[in-house]
Structure 1
Amino acid sequence: MDEVYDLNQETPTQRKGKQKKKKSWDYNKELKRLQIELAHLQAWVKKSGARIVVIFEGRDAAGKGGIIKRMTEKVSPRVFRVVALPAPSDREKSQIYMQRYIAHLPAAGEIVIFDRSWYNRAGVDRVMGFCSEKKAQRFLELAPRFEAAIVESGTILLKYFLTVSEEEQELRFKRRIDDPVRQWKLSPMDVESYQRWWDYTRAYDEMLRMTDSNHAPWWIVPSDDKERARINCISHILQSIPYERVKFGAPDLGKRQKRPSDYIEDRSIRHVVPDMTL
């Protein structure tokens, strides 16, 4: 990887102080600009038949969902398809490990965003004992070869790992506990990841080291500052895909048909949502 990111170099307070001093850009303005570019990317993907996979991994509460939400809120879910698989069923557990992920890889004209991916095997499965150490090690050996096959097929594959400090993660977990609209985000696995910080650190260190490759490198996204992380990550995704702007063919709406002379308005009773703003 191009840069070594060491969270122990400075405290979150020091980092945030520097970020505030350097922040001379307008978050909402930058986000709007990037979302316009994502719309252009979408048009190019549809026209060219490109296949793109974007993988998001990282610490719990690092902000994966926030980046994915900002990427997809202004584009079509038929083109930008988000895959966030639940725990495997008994049938899926009996399959080849990669099998259920292969089924979600993109067809022509699709961008598939994995909100966690096959790297569950190297993270939560390994740390929590859902797979044997032998299977985890075998996955780490095979993953680069699997991804090489994806890339060789003509699919663009991008992998992002979001980091967050211990202090910032704890603050975010506490906000989830205190806020009713965020409580659903705090799962038993999140609590385990909080308690087993260093077990996960060791697992992620080895995962990043063994599965970083020239054809599918890992890109680290420092995420203590959520807004900065979103802008940086979406910008990098756009820069990593050789898309071109496609000229929009504005349709001619023509003229709306006239009301037929024999049309009689239907006056049967209909249930209308009451205006609650009055």
Structure 2
Amino acid sequence: MKRKDYEAALKPMRAELVAMARWARTTGQRIVVLFEGRDTAGKGGAIRAVSEKLNPRQCHIVALAKPTEAERTQWYFQRYVQHLPCAGEIVLFDRSWYNRAGVEKVMGYASEAEVAQFLQQAPTFERMLVDDGILLFKYWLTTDQARQEERLRERLDDPLKRWKLSPIDFAARGQYDAYTEARETMLAATHTEWAPWTLVDFNDQKHGRLTLVRDLLDRLPDTHVAPPEIEFPELGREPKAEHYSVLGPIADYPLG
């Protein structure tokens, strides 16, 4: 899909996202969206598609680093709870508590007992969130191994994207099947009536973003809230020029 076609398709949905944010602010609704998937699946781009035109004071992106030593001693969900939204807020998790069922399981950062406990507790934890009124959406972005390899190589070759690579990314390359098995186990245990998973094909990232945003908007209740009337007053007198300085175009300033 060409960029101009993608932007043309996304533009009306962005207007709906702005309306959704206005509805959330007006009604005090709390919205949580989880973005999960393999490395290079396109989580960052999908999050930008949702958040780019929203007020960053209302729409928060949460992308946690690895837990600290103190956090390792906490209840597993504890460090995520503090990032849940207040009334009128939207929180987008770039990876979430499901790290335990994915990378921590496959790379050996969590024991089998810890993973089993997580899979048992996650549906209950999410039921508590939903019962408290939070609108919870869980998306898994799917991509095949060939496309993942292509994107990893692109990151390696592009100095502006190389920061996205980590030793874990390279270690995970040989664990594609193990990640698939872990994902299937996770889906079987945590795909519930109150917090279902939605899998979106992200082999084509532009199509994937459009599909995800459309699905998110369609699953929200009626979010129509008329925008407030804004009175645009007549411009008052400007202060005298000597009270402030004005920089001219850069061409007015000689180099050297």
Select 1:92's aligned residue among 64, 68, 71. Answer: 71
Does residue 62 of structure 1 match 2:52? Answer: no
The correspondence of residues 44-83 of structure 1 with structure 2, limited to 5 A, is 44-83=23-62
Deviation at 1:264, TM superposition (A): 6.1
Q: Unpaired runs of 5+ in structure 1? A: 1-19
1:136–1:272: structure 2 CA closer, same or farther, 3 Å change rule?
Answer: farther
Match of 1:191 in 2: 170
Select 1:33's aligned residue among 12, 34, 37. Answer: 12
State the TM-score, normalizing by the size of structure 1: 0.85
User: Following the alignment from structure 1 to structure 2, what is the Cα–Cα distance between the partners of residues 146 and 258?
Assistant: 58
Deviation at 1:243, TM superposition (A): 3.3
Does residue 104 of structure 1 match 2:83? Answer: yes
User: Following the alignment from structure 2 to structure 1, what is the Cα–Cα distance between the partners of residues 50 and 223?
Assistant: 18
Q: Secondary structure at the match of 1:26?
A: helix
What count of residue pairs does the alignment treat as equivalent?
252
User: Following the alignment from structure 1 to structure 2, what is the Cα–Cα distance between the partners of residues 271 and 251?
Assistant: 31
> For residues 180-206 of structure 1, what are the alpha-carbon distances to aligned partners after superposition, in whole Å with 9 as ceiling and x for unaligned?
111111111111221211111111110
Select 2:221's aligned residue among 238, 242, 264. Answer: 242
Match of 1:231 in 2: 210
Deviation at 1:272, TM superposition (A): 8.0
Match of 1:162 in 2: 141
1:34–1:92: structure 2 CA closer, same or farther, 3 Å change rule?
Answer: same
> For residues 136-168 of structure 1, what are the alpha-carbon distances to aligned partners after superposition, in whole Å with 9 as ceiling and x for unaligned?
111001100000000000111000001100111
Deviation at 1:80, TM superposition (A): 1.3
Match of 2:130 in 1: 151
Instruction: Indicate the percent of aligned positions where both proteins have the same amino acid.
Output: 42
> For residues 4-38 of structure 1, what are the alpha-carbon distances to aligned partners after superposition, in whole Å with 9 as ceiling and x for unaligned?
xxxxxxxxxxxxxxxx8xx9x93221111111110
CA RMSD of aligned residues (A): 2.2
User: Following the alignment from structure 2 to structure 1, what is the Cα–Cα distance between the partners of residues 152 and 229?
Assistant: 47
Does residue 265 of structure 1 match 2:242? Answer: yes
Q: Secondary structure at the match of 2:178?
A: helix
Match of 2:107 in 1: 128
User: Following the alignment from structure 2 to structure 1, what is the Cα–Cα distance between the partners of residues 223 and 116?
Assistant: 40
User: Following the alignment from structure 1 to structure 2, what is the Cα–Cα distance between the partners of residues 118 and 203?
Assistant: 14
1:252–1:128: structure 2 CA closer, same or farther, 3 Å change rule?
Answer: same
Specify the code of the residue in structure 2 equivalent to 1:35: R
Deviation at 1:179, TM superposition (A): 0.9
Match of 1:15 in 2: none
Deviation at 1:125, TM superposition (A): 1.0
Deviation at 1:274, TM superposition (A): 4.1
User: Following the alignment from structure 1 to structure 2, what is the Cα–Cα distance between the partners of residues 64 and 52?
Assistant: 18
User: Following the alignment from structure 1 to structure 2, what is the Cα–Cα distance between the partners of residues 234 and 202?
Assistant: 27
Deviation at 1:44, TM superposition (A): 0.4
> For residues 206-238 of structure 1, what are the alpha-carbon distances to aligned partners after superposition, in whole Å with 9 as ceiling and x for unaligned?
011111000000100111011110000000000
1:272–1:201: structure 2 CA closer, same or farther, 3 Å change rule?
Answer: farther
Specify the code of the residue in structure 2 equivalent to 1:192: A
Does residue 180 of structure 1 match 2:159? Answer: yes
Deviation at 1:246, TM superposition (A): 1.5
